Structure 1
């Protein structure tokens, strides 16, 4: 099948076609030709207003629910949401019931590989049932297709467990993740410990809870070696700690959730549980440090930290509500309000290598793995724009910039 993409501006700083307006001819999923004007018979022609094309986007932390929590999100609709949001590659967290802590569970997730064109990369649980007690079958899961190991929002409470995990995973080049929170300090807090939590009477989670855990983890990493990824950092001190660790030569990476670059804890004034996330929304000074960290490379990647939560667990009293917000649908439009389009695309196409995932290439003869979008035009994100089954988005009513048209990957075209 031949597909002709007309008058598309390429956004890929590594390509010789960067910022050029070209036609792209695809034949059975491969790039057959790129040129200023291609005249040929095609089975389908794609033309959009102000069409831009980049390499397919990657998200390192996506949660759905199935199997076990289908009321939050099914795999089918979740993957469709990712595709229509511009993502051709996603790392899917083991927040399932039962927890994805064995090779059979990983193979089940891998069976959805390529649906709607999206490459699904399972993240295996680091410990059995994500209880932070005993290591799970890491090697078996790696062989089944797991790209990393994480208990997601469950911190590794036993430092010796992290030590053993980092030592063991080195035998097969495994990537260990450690959520940055010391629960003995965070306890049952629901908001950043500061002026607003005190004013609203909410139990606070101090920045110290994150920074203390990161400090511990970095000391262990320095001792053991290995590969460590710290997901969704949220404080200025965390950025500083990781910057210093990289200067030491430690094999450390980290990510930041996109909503942490946009919203502060001031948003909690109306007790809207959509703004209840983990880690909690912090302060303006933290946002400035996180953005600086992305610009100077201290923070390696952004993530939507997409976490669907059904209405029964969100539309309740703030302190009883579950943590999490969806973010796939709003990722591009939110980042595009902070950074230039070129920087936004750079951030959305970073991170694959850390997870052992081959990054696509925009060259003739290569498999096509594209995101199609318009970088211009502002709009207000509304509930009816949500594709996810769960509607817990903190971006409802927020102004975004740009529009995603869809993706082409794995020889499949999925349009918004």
Structure 2
């Protein structure tokens, strides 16, 4: 792949050209020249867009693509295309498929589907067989096959001894164990945040306590066992405080937050729109403030779109019976830019790579090109026209967002809108 990128503002604090407008010459997937007004004697393809900005490729630590088993929701091929057109060059792929990804063969299958693509697929293997929370899955074999972490997607490990054993065992091969933060006996049948809003709507509530008890338990176990723990999609102020305390103790813990939990409160559910039925539930403005503060001070390591395509039959039903989840890859950049500065947004979108085994590629001469192209200025109302997924369960539908992604250049592959 040989291209010349024209007049791009480089946003990469690890690059000598950070915050400058440059031309970038790419030959065979490597950056060979960076400078002003580079010539193009070999008539390479030129890339020029309005208000073009470029950064290191973005990373998402939690996406679902459906395949195998739920191809009507999303296929891996279209999921990769969606991620690329949304600016992501690496995604950690959840194991909530049919069958569940819980063997080395399953992981190898996913890896094979991502070969020679612009977006690097990082398969997450199930922590337990069938994600049933009873017996550990083939963690070591999956790690050798290329699994980047182990997680029963959105299913808490109710047995503390099982999590203890998982942390101890995975530490032998530097495995990353993920534990969904919810105590099911406290959450009960709650379908939204337990608060005055849930009472007024007549919907069963899922209290903050359900998340906080589980986080506290998991952190005690981590302190006892050692190992590496990731707590995905936290949503409460107390949860942030607990993880901040754990990091002060030098525990090897990381965590993420879903972008919609930074944006919407539980009051968004007043119209019973099932696109707002997510897990963990939308919380309060105080929680959002604490989550944003946690991102700013590094307590929260990364933001995820928590992209989960679901077909219409699973969403267009009574609220209590609708499935949890929203798509989010396409709206993640635009939503973050409404909450953070451009500099902070790009920093957030490029966090977490090392934790999940994705490489960092600074924009420098001689380095591999792994980059996202975008325009941060455009404002628009998010609509179906902006969706590349096969499913349309979008929590950000009709929201005013900011920033347009042009595409990505990675793995010697160019994907543009």
Normalising TM by the smaller chain, what interval? over 0.9
| Counterpart residue number, 2:58 | 57
- Segments of structure 1 that go 5 or more residues without pairing to the other structure are none
After TM superposition, list the pairs within 5 Å mapping 1:228-267 onto structure 2.
228-267=229-268
Judge conservation of contact 2:12–2:362 (CA < 8 Å) in 1: no
| Counterpart residue number, 1:25 | 25
Partners in 1 of 2:230 and 2:180 — Cα distance?
9
| Counterpart residue number, 2:73 | 72
| Counterpart residue number, 2:339 | 338
- Segments of structure 2 that go 5 or more residues without pairing to the other structure are none
TM-score by length of 1: 0.99
Judge conservation of contact 2:59–2:91 (CA < 8 Å) in 1: yes
RMSD of the alignment, in Å? 0.8
Task: Tell me by how many angstroms 1:384 deviates.
Answer: 2.2
May I ask how many residue pairs the two structures share in their alignment?
416
Partners in 1 of 2:84 and 2:43 — Cα distance?
23
Residues 70-120 of structure 1: CA deviation (Å, up to 9, x unaligned): 111111111100000000000000011000000000001001224541100
Residues 272-306 of structure 1: CA deviation (Å, up to 9, x unaligned): 00000000000000000000000000000000000
Task: Tell me by how many angstroms 1:355 deviates.
Answer: 1.5
SS in 1 for 2:339: coil
| Counterpart residue number, 1:394 | 395
SS in 2 for 1:354: helix
Partners in 1 of 2:357 and 2:330 — Cα distance?
25
| Counterpart residue number, 1:155 | 156
> 1:183–1:329: structure 2 CA closer, same or farther, 3 Å change rule?
same
| Counterpart residue number, 1:319 | 320
| Counterpart residue number, 1:2 | 2
| Counterpart residue number, 1:355 | 356
| Counterpart residue number, 1:202 | 203
Residues 309-357 of structure 1: CA deviation (Å, up to 9, x unaligned): 1100001000100000000000101001111111100000010111132
Partners in 2 of 1:279 and 1:184 — Cα distance?
15
Deviates more, 1:311-320 or 1:37-46: 37-46
Residues 230-269 of structure 1: CA deviation (Å, up to 9, x unaligned): 0000000000000000011110100000000000000100
| Counterpart residue number, 1:375 | 376
| Counterpart residue number, 1:99 | 100
> 1:259–1:191: structure 2 CA closer, same or farther, 3 Å change rule?
same
Residues 17-74 of structure 1: CA deviation (Å, up to 9, x unaligned): 1110000000011111111121023321000000000000000000111000111111
Judge conservation of contact 1:83–1:116 (CA < 8 Å) in 2: no
Judge conservation of contact 1:116–1:413 (CA < 8 Å) in 2: no
Partners in 2 of 1:274 and 1:58 — Cα distance?
24
SS in 2 for 1:269: helix
SS in 2 for 1:156: coil
Judge conservation of contact 2:381–2:398 (CA < 8 Å) in 1: yes
Task: Tell me by how many angstroms 1:14 deviates.
Answer: 1.8
Task: Tell me by how many angstroms 1:167 deviates.
Answer: 0.1
Partners in 2 of 1:246 and 1:127 — Cα distance?
27
Deviates more, 1:76-85 or 1:38-47: 38-47
Partners in 1 of 2:380 and 2:78 — Cα distance?
24
Deviates more, 1:296-305 or 1:115-124: 115-124
Judge conservation of contact 1:31–1:366 (CA < 8 Å) in 2: yes
